[in-house]
Amino acid sequence: MKFHRAEEIFLVIGVAILVLSMVITGYQGFAKQMGPPSGMETLDPEKVDEHELFSEPGVYEVGENKYQVVMTLQAFQFTPNNIEIPAGAEVEFIMTSKDVIHGFQVAGTNLNAMVMPGYIQRIKQTFDEPGEFLVLCNEYCGIGHQLMGTTITVK
């Protein structure tokens, strides 16, 4: 089979791009472990209140400068409301939804998570600067969606 020069170049570049992207994806996936989250945690969305993690939503100090915010989301509120945490603390948000899909977005940070019924969402953040951070639901969840918000106060 005889190829044109231009066809050869095209083929070589095409195959090179293909191989390179497979190598990069493989490196990220296997060497850097950048795959989708594994060990997915689930729960019965009808029994959130009875679940050991979510029976008492709130802000907990779990170690030196470490906090957990255990939070449930439902139409159209975040529980607990008005969270206070000290500046510089590492905060793990542990969340689930009691009804439909909600969003958890903290304005001015890169915190942005989807919170789904039946799943436990964990996300970590350190707030270095004191301030008030607006928390919004960014998944349309019903008639009161635009009212669903709270604040995180960092002191």
List interacting residues with ligand CUA (CB under 6 A): 76, 102, 137, 139-141, 145, 148
Structure tokens, 27: 């490196």
Q: In this complex, which beta carbon is closest to ligand CUA, that of residue 100 or of residue 120?
A: 100
Helix (H) or strand (E) holding 9: helix 5-26
- Contact at 8 Å (CB) between 65 and 88? yes
Give 28's DSSP letter. I
Cα gap 81→151, rounded to integer Å = 7
By the 8 A CB rule, do 132 and 151 touch?
A: yes
Which CB, 89 or 116, lies closer to ligand CUA? 116
Nearer to ligand CUA, 69 or 102 (CB): 102
Please report how close the Cβ of residue 150 comes to ligand CUA at its closest, in angstroms.
11
Q: Least distance (Å) from ligand CUA to the CB of residue 111?
A: 15
**In angstroms, what is the minimal distance from the CB of 122 to ligand CUA?**
19
